[in-house]
Amino acid sequence: MATSISEVTRAVEALLANPPPVEDRKDGEAEHLFDAMERLRVTLEKPEQTVNRIIFSCRTLPIIKIAQGMGIFDAFADVGLNHPLTLGQLDEQTKGDRTMLTRILRLLITEKVITKSNDEYTLAPFAYQFRNDTVSGEVVKHFHAITAIQSPNYLKARDYMSPDDAFDAPHQFANNTKNHYFHWLADDEERQRPFNATMSLPRHDDHNQWFDIYPVRERLNDESHVFVDLGGGSGHDIARLKTKFPDLPGRLVLQDLPAVVRGVSLPNGIEINPHNMFDPQPIKDARAYYMRTVLHDWPDKQALEVLSRVREAMGKDSILLINENVLSESGADDTPVVAHTDFTMMLNFSSRERTESEWIELLQKADLKLIKVWRPRVTIKSRALFEAMRVD
């Protein structure tokens, strides 16, 4: 007998009333539910409802940014979690006029960011992260919707051919600049700081660290060894490695652009070496050169330049570890996060996420030999650690 919509609704309401603790959820269980709910929604919606939802979805980020700029999230944070505020109280504590405030509150209600009851507004618990003094608040500032909005015009002008040059991406077109995305960030602290904050956020798979699947003590076990985290941002990965293996012998070195590593604070025992990875690598014959989600920022043309610099510095016993997103070969099994990240790579860098076979092909073009592809023990198809050595 077919399950009625009312029965499904009651089951969902019961789950909402008593959700299982995070620690009691099986791996992937919630994700499978989200996927089923999305498919159910599309199935039950009228076509015009689906179309309207997709069309209006592009406005969500600007709405959040406006609310953030007005101080709406800060106003709720000042009075504490789950504490309601009236329209008058919000009007006193935020920028703008009451007409704008009412308009934005109405939109936030439709996005389930705010609820309204008895003329009082309550902020959803997750939305406290949008206030201005949080890392997540900085992440909101980082994402630049203008590039995505202008991308149809960019691609139309190029007859919808895939961009392949990091200096001629939708980013340059939309922002009227000749600068590479990273240089554009570095030119303005108000852009660079939110980007750094975004890179410091835990990833969706951070419960599966690369060093949990890779034999670190076996491979990196000598006092003379050097581990170089190339393009390591604020050092989140190398700091986690140090925390996991506090007695690991050898040197640990973080490398990134000066604007990125300036002011970075790291655990004792980690060196900071400002470096542009397109320049000759100053650390020769390191035991390991490690890159996490670095090469996905670059199309093949520039990615091969980076790999050539690493290869020049590698000794006969050096290894290259590439920790990257991996697209499915079929194109039908990717998570929304990975698919949208692939699009973001195109927008900002003319780059893309790659399949496993494309990663291996890139290594071969760089005269690097694949040793092994390491994957998390749990079922996450969208990430892998590629281990390679130079070909002499």
Residues with a catalytic annotation lie at 296
Place of tokens 């092909």: 361
Q: Which residues have C-beta within 8 Å of that of residue 73, sequence separation ≥ 6?
A: 67, 123, 127, 128, 130, 131, 132, 137
The answer to whether 277 and 220 are in contact (CB under 8 A) is: no
Which residues on neighbouring strands pair with residue 63, listed in sequence order? none
In whole angstroms, what is the distance from residue 28 CA to residue 358 CA?
26
82 burial level (CB within 10 Å; 0-12, 13-18, 19+):
exposed
Place of tokens 């012998």: 249
Q: Which of 65, 237, 252 is nearest to 145 (CA)?
A: 65
Establish how many alpha carbons lie within 13 A of residue 239's alpha carbon, considering only the half-sphere containing its beta carbon.
Answer: 13
In whole angstroms, what is the distance from residue 92 CA to residue 96 CA?
10
How far is C-alpha 144 from the chain's CA centre?
A: 14
